[in-house]
Amino acid sequence: MKRSVSLSFLFQTVVFLFLFFSSLAAENNDSVFYDFHQESPGNIHKIAVSDLPKPFASKSAVNPPAQAKKPADAMPHSLPGFKVNLYAGGFDEPRELRAAPNGDVFLAESNKGEIKVLRGISSDGKAEQISTFATGLHQPFGIAFYPPGSNPEWVYVGDTDSIKRFPYQNGDLKARAAAQTIVAELFPGAEDARGHWTRDIAFSPDGKKMYVSVGSGSNVDNPDTHQSEFHRADILEYNPDGSGLRVFAFGIRNPVGLAFEPKTGQLWTSVNERDNLGNNLVPDYTTHVSDGGFYGWPWYYMGGNQDPRLPDSHPDWRAKMITPDIVIQPHSAPLGFTFYSGTQFPAKYRGDEFLALHGSWNREPRTGYEVVRVPLHQQGKATGEYEDFLTGFVTSAGEVWGRPVGIAVAKDGSLLVSDDGSDSVWRVSYQGK
């Protein structure tokens, strides 16, 4: 009898351990999912929809980064042949970066409500001049020059609740007149709304349309029953004067960056997907955006999967939902990006997307806190993979001192990266092998 009980217990233990480690292996497939320990310049990642675990395969973590002071010897690092230096520092939450046609770089200091202009590059790689272009804004983020081309007449700014513009001529370091309000209220109650607050702006290459990214107010509130999600989790389209509003694409939980890819003329975005389904759900992404496209939120997520917390309310939309071009490690928080237009970097980089990953708050271990490169193969088309390009913002002990946000190409072809962890802008230049 004792032997029978012992064998039964042994069998149950073996089955339990098999199921436990099988689940763990599925959730932490080293060939696909990863954390900051595996982030190193040159490492290539590719995640497919078929790799995704089931919901709640792991417990969701609450693991926000306690912002650490930058260690004295810490620096971001990139691939061989690239040099990283501090371009400018001492900002107050530096967020989006946008290069003007004349080579000046505009920076949104969102917390301070200001737009800065960074000009020039000294012999030691520093900004030669920093000026305050505009003040008194309400959490500004997006910056765009209009009309497209070499001689813009306006600088548009995406406040969290509205779209404003300032008259502008190339070389202006300070706004020459007060702001004009183009869109007074992006959605009902926008001035005091909660949730995702960044609003980026991009103009179509022909200058006829303006696009604005508006993130959701929640993690997975059902828009069918929550009016607070009206005109949120969308990319909105306007005429440049603020008229002609329509929803260009929807079901995009938090579209942050916007830009037109030059080769194809397609609009691209970077997206923070939902939380609390596990360490490796739901993947973030960057993708071109289709007119009228539905991307799943909140009822579904990539691959036509239903979010178990919501009803299957829109099967017609589910059948048509779009799988994004680049599936990114969940909870990495992609923000600003640019398509490399310079000539300083080797030819293989031209036209590629450089994307800032701000870093996770609900994954254990952490992920993100880096800049990645998405190869577009000189055709404006992605094939699913992305490469770690700029890392080192997390210490080996897991302490976060830097968080990339915005990316712009400087006049000399170097890459500028804003970092709201160390309140800095970093410069990456190519020195050759």
Of 14, 120, 65, 111, the closest CA to residue 416 belongs to 120
- The string of pLDDT tens digits covering residues 333-385 is 999 999 999 999 999 999 999 999 999 999 999 999 999 999 999 999 999 99
pLDDT tens-digit readout, 151-188 = 999 999 999 999 999 999 999 999 999 999 999 999 99
Q: Residue 433's pLDDT is what?
A: 72
- The distance between the two most distant Cα atoms of the chain, rounded to a whole number of Å, is 92
> 76 and 391 in contact (C-beta within 8 Å)?
yes
Sketch out the chain's domains with CATH numbers.
Answer: 31-430 (2.120.10.30)
Q: How many CB atoms are located within 10 Å of the residue 49 CB?
A: 14
How high does pLDDT run on average in the chain?
A: 94
Specify the 3-state DSSP secondary structure of 315.
helix
CB within 8 A of 295, min separation 6: which ones?
Answer: 249, 250, 251, 252, 271, 302, 321, 322, 324
Whole-number pLDDT of residue 24: 43
Strand partners, 428: 84, 415
pLDDT at residue number 16: 40
Decide the pairing of beta strands 163-167 and 154-158: antiparallel
pLDDT at 10 over 70: no
CA distance 411 to 433: 22
CA atoms within 13 A on the CB side of 347: 0
Provide mean pLDDT across the span 136-154. 98
**For residue 297, is pLDDT > 60?**
yes
- Cα 431 to Cα 421: distance, rounded to the nearest angstrom: 27
Q: What percent of the chain has pLDDT over 70?
A: 93
Q: What is the pLDDT of residues 384-410, one digit of tens each?
A: 999 999 999 999 899 999 999 999 999
Tokens of 282: 């739901």
Identify the burial level of 171 via C-beta atoms within 10 angstroms of its C-beta, where 0-12 means exposed, 13-18 middle and 19 or more buried. exposed
257 neighbors 211 (Cβ within 8 angstroms)? no
**Per-position DSSP letters for 121-143, written without gaps between them:** --TTS--SEEEEEE-S-SS--EE
| Amino acid at residue number 117 | V
Structure pTM?
0.93
CA 336 distance to own-chain centroid: 5
pLDDT of residue 268: 99
Q: For strands 385-390 and 44-46, give the pairing.
A: antiparallel
**Cα–Cα distance between 191 and 180 in angstroms, integer?**
17
Q: Contact at 8 Å (CB) between 369 and 400?
A: yes
Give the number of residues written for the chain: 433
- pLDDT at residue 15, as a whole number: 38
CA angle 309, 312, 317 (to 5 degrees): 125
Identify the CA nearest to 182 among candidates 207, 152, 212, 206.
Answer: 212
